[in-house]
Amino acid sequence: MPREEHDARMHPRCPPLGGEVPFRHCRSMNRGLPCQRILGCWEGTVDVLAFLRGNYTLEELEPTFQPARSRLDILFETADRVRRERGGGG
């Protein structure tokens, strides 16, 4: 089914935004790619797997469904990068 046919459907609550959102938002909010939560949020309302298979390649979807890094991991990686940029060793 084409993307546009789902776009008008509304979801009662988007966990990150806290309000009602159209399917269009969920399929494109991640730099033009689907939100990581699209499967759980739209399950039972839209055949999300069929939609994703019909509208995206595996290469497009792979980064979307990778496990998210924790905030602590990001903090340590940022601290290490800053230390290296400033010439600090280890």
State the pLDDT at residue 85.
Answer: 92
Is residue 90 predicted with pLDDT exceeding 70? no
| Mean pLDDT, rounded, of the chain | 87
> Does the pLDDT of residue 79 top 70, yes or no?
yes
CA–CA distance, 88 with 90 (Å, rounded to integer): 6
* pLDDT classification of 31: cutoffs 50, 70, 90: confident
Cα(40)–Cα(69) distance, integer angstroms = 19
| Residues, the chain | 90
For tokens 């969920």, what's the residue? 26
Q: How far is CA 52 from the centre of its chain?
A: 13
pLDDT of amino acid 35: 92
Give the start-to-end residue ranges of the domains of the chain. 3-85
